[in-house]
């Protein structure tokens, strides 16, 4: 599998403590209460920070999204091609051999890309 590096930055929400105390009188804020699915009518103290999941270091959301787009897009393309191949095979379409050659090459390239990464020291 891939060695994914995360760029973690100091969490400003909890001041790197991992515990939210940004609400009124040092209580946890409503955003952290909502993430923990607790009643909003009470004040809670010592809840883990929702921005960094309690580790004091946060990864920007855009970085998390950028890391997930490529694999999700690759899986979507592979599944879509498999569905189209299956549909063309069932209907007996005259262009099935051409589509099979195209999709087989594309699926093979995607699989080769994700399973042949060498680990670099």
What is the pLDDT at residue 106?
Answer: 94
SS3 10: strand
Taking a C-beta distance cutoff of 8 angstroms, is the pair 83, 72 a contact?
A: no
Per-residue pLDDT of the chain (121 residues; tens, 9 = 90+): 456 667 788 888 888 888 888 878 887 888 888 887 877 777 788 888 888 877 888 877 788 788 888 889 999 999 999 999 999 999 999 999 999 999 999 999 998 988 887 555 4
> In the chain, where are the structural domains located?
9-58, 61-115
Q: Which residues of 63-80 are buried (b: 16+ CB within 10 A; e: fewer)?
A: eeeeeeeeeeebeeebee
> Which burial class, exposed, middle or buried, applies to 58 when counting CB atoms under 10 A from its CB (0-12, 13-18, 19+)?
buried
> Which burial class, exposed, middle or buried, applies to 52 when counting CB atoms under 10 A from its CB (0-12, 13-18, 19+)?
buried
What is the pLDDT at residue 14?
Answer: 83
């Amino acid at each position: 599998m891939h060695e994914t590096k995360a760029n973690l930055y100091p969490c400003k929400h909890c001041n790197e403590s991992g515990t939210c105390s940004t609400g009124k009188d040092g209580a946890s804020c409503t955003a952290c209460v909502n993430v923990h699915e607790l009643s909003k009518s009470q004040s809670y103290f010592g809840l883990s920070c929702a921005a960094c999941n309690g580790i004091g270091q946060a990864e920007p959301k855009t970085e998390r999204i950028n890391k997930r787009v490529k694999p999700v897009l690759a899986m979507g393309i592979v599944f879509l091609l498999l569905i189209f191949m299956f549909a063309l095979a069932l209907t007996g379409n005259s262009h099935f051999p051409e589509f099979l050659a195209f999709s087989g090459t594309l699926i093979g390239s995607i699989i080769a890309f994700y399973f042949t990464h060498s680990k670099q020291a």
